Amino acid sequence: MKEHRYFRLGSQLSRVPFMAHIDQKTIDELMLQSMILEAAPGEVLLLEGEDENHFLVLMKGSVEIITDGEVVATIATSGEILGEQALLHRRRSATVRAKERVFCLRVDGSFVDSLTEEQRLVYQAELYRFLADVLAQRLDSTSRRLAEMERALVEARADSAD
């Protein structure tokens, strides 16, 4: 995996949902303390179980999300956040592996320490709102999958009773 220092991405970052309302000065601060990661297909970007405080913003390419050794999702949307649970001081719940050549912005969670109080409050409010949306979407998706599995189980039991 290659790391590249800061280069102009500010306008692209303002299109990332949770950064859309963050002022350019704060985004510039973030960029000065961030790295661009370039990964080849098959390279691991985040490892399940890691205790790290950085997250990634997918800029280009696609990644696989792997839990307990099984691919559970593929993400190819530019601006998608990966490893966001680290910001809640939690161990990584999944491995993220490049499916193709990938570019991600690696953001160290400690960059918040360099912000003014006002910038920090705006950033944290946007981040927590974003995380709440992500978690609500995942809960909804998981609930739908569980309901489908329960229906399939009931049908299988009914078929085996016949």
CATH number of the 2-161 domain: 2.60.120.10
What is the three-class DSSP state of 60?
strand
* CA distance readout (Å), 30 to 54, 72, 95, 99: 12, 30, 24, 27
Which sequence spans correspond to the domains of the chain?
Answer: 2-161
Dig out the tokens for 128 from the structure.
Answer: 């927590």
Binning pLDDT at 50, 70 and 90, where does residue 109 land?
confident
pLDDT digits (tens, 9 = 90+) for 49-99: 998 888 898 888 999 999 999 999 999 988 788 988 777 767 898 999 999
- Give the pLDDT confidence of 22-50 residue by residue, as tens digits: 777 777 777 777 888 999 999 999 999 99
Quote the CA–CA distance of 117 and 100 in Å, as a whole number.
Answer: 39
Sheet holding 95-98, edge to edge: 44-46, 95-98, 63-67, 70-75
